[in-house]
Structure formats: C-alpha cells, structure tokens
C-alpha cells in the first residue's frame, strides 16, 4: 500500500517478514485472524507500558522538521516538543508553550489527577503540529484490534538501531502504519490523525534525560491559570 511504501523508503530498512489477514475469515482462518488482532493489541499494550519508562526520543518529521518525546519517573513527567511549541506534563502543572515571532509564551494549567494517564485530548495541539504521540497511537491500535473488518499486515524491522514490530492496518476510518520498538517506544507512524496526514520516524533514542527537559524555557513568558495561580 502507498503509506507503507512511503514509510519503508523513509526508514531505509528491510522487511524481515510479512503476513496479511482480514476480518472476513472462514472458520479455519479464525485462529490466525485472532492472532493478528492479538498482535495489534500487544503493540498497544507495549506502547502504553512505555509510559513507565525513562527515555529521550528524537523524531524526524516531513520537510526536515523535528520533534521529541522525553519521559522520566519518580515523579512521573513527560515533555513533547514539536514545531512551534511544547507540551509538558508534571505533578505541578500541564504546561503548553507556543513560539511566535521569536517569543515563547507558556500557559500553566492544573496537572492531570494523580494516578491517571494523559487523555488523547491533551495532545490535540501536538497532533496539529505533526507530532502523533504514543497515547494517540494506542487508541488507533486498540480500535484496529477490535475491528473484525480490519486488514492487518505484520513485519519486523530496525528503526534508529532498535528492533521494532510494525503493523500496516487498513480500516474504513483510515489506513495507517505503526512500528513499536522492543522497548515499547514509538518507532514510526504514517497515516491520518483527526483527518490530517501524519508521518514521523524515530531518529535517536537514549535511556537518559536532561535535567532541564521539563522546565519552562529560559526567557519565556508565563501565564499561570492554575487555581491560586498569578493569572
């Protein structure tokens, strides 16, 4: 399919194995179809569990643009950097920063409830700017696993030096390709998100995080909209 070809050319990797199934199976094929659905669900679980990891990941976007995802634990913190902005989630605040005409303004709102995971809605701006985040991909993979009409192709590859399992999914809601590394990090994604074509590929991964990764950028204007905040 065209989306898969684009992704494979971009990553310049070789496919080790590929198998396609459809939800329209005979009883003899039902076991294999269930296996493919289980695979997609397993990737979703792998991505979800990666929220418990500490790592820094850089991504290549179309047009030479870049993005990054950084996570740390104890306390749980995450930062998503994309063209023109950044979203940071810490126990103290959810911070959205936007850069316009060389000036950065960061707005602080209340953080997610302790013990809960970020909702997909939280990443709307990141999606608009080209960074499809792991929670969004988890939702797409879960929907595909539950769709008996989905056509799923599986392959193994290497992304930024890390082994990854990939699935190419064809659904009436839109086709997409997603690769997830053994560690559970999003390796690549190609497909529509909220009706917008998206494409990204992992370019660097480390299990370390810079100490300033979750801080408000130096010189940025701050608008504090948390209860009891300054604004």
What local confidence, expressed as pLDDT, does residue 122 receive? 86
pLDDT at residue 211, rounded to an integer = 82
With respect to residue 231, please indicate whether it lies within any of the assigned structural domains.
Answer: no
Quote the pLDDT of residue 14.
28
Q: Residue 174 is part of a domain; what is its CATH number?
A: 2.50.20
Domain presence at residue 229: no
Is there a contact between 184 and 47 (Cβ–Cβ < 8 Å)? yes
Number of domains in the chain: 1
| Structure confidence at residue 200 (pLDDT) | 97
71 located within any domain: yes
Triad 169, 173, 179: Cα angle to 5°: 30
For the beta carbon of residue 31, count every other beta carbon within 10 angstroms.
Answer: 9
* Residue span of the structural domain in which 95 resides: 2-224
Report strand pairing: 85-89 vs 19-21.
unpaired
Q: What is the pLDDT of residues 84-120, one digit of tens each?
A: 999 999 999 999 999 988 899 999 999 988 777 777 7
Domain annotation covers residue 230: no
pLDDT score of 35: 66
Position 10 scores a pLDDT of: 36
Query: Model's pTM, two decimal places?
Result: 0.81
**Mean pLDDT by groups of 10 residues along the chain of 231 residues:** 37 29 34 64 90 95 96 93 94 93 93 78 88 93 91 93 95 95 96 93 96 92 86 57
Q: Output the pLDDT for position 2.
A: 43
pLDDT per residue as tens digits for the range 125-148: 898 899 999 999 999 999 999 998
Asked whether residue 139 is domain-assigned, the answer is yes
């Amino acid at each position: 399919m065209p989306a898969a070809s684009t992704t494979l050319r971009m990553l310049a990797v070789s496919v080790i194995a590929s198998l396609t199934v459809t939800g329209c199976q005979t009883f003899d094929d039902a076991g294999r179809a269930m296996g493919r659905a289980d695979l997609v669900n397993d990737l979703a679980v792998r991505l979800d569990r990666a929220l418990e990891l500490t790592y820094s990941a850089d991504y290549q976007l179309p047009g030479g643009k870049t993005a990054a995802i950084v996570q740390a634990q104890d306390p749980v913190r995450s930062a998503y950097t994309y063209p023109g902005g950044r979203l940071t989630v810490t126990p103290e605040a959810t911070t959205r920063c936007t850069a316009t005409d060389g000036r950065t303004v960061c707005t602080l709102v209340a953080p997610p409830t302790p013990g809960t995971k970020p909702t997909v809605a939280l990443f709307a701006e990141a999606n608009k700017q080209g960074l499809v985040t792991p929670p969004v991909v988890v939702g797409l993979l879960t929907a595909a696993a539950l769709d008996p009409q989905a056509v799923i192709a599986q392959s193994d590859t290497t992304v930024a030096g890390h082994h990854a399992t990939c699935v190419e999914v064809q659904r009436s809601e839109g086709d997409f390709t997603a690769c997830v590394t053994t560690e559970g990090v999003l390796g690549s994604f190609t497909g529509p998100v909220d009706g917008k074509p998206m494409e990204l590929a992992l370019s660097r991964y480390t299990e370390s995080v810079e100490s300033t990764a979750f801080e408000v950028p130096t010189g940025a204007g701050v608008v504090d909209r948390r209860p009891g905040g300054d604004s």
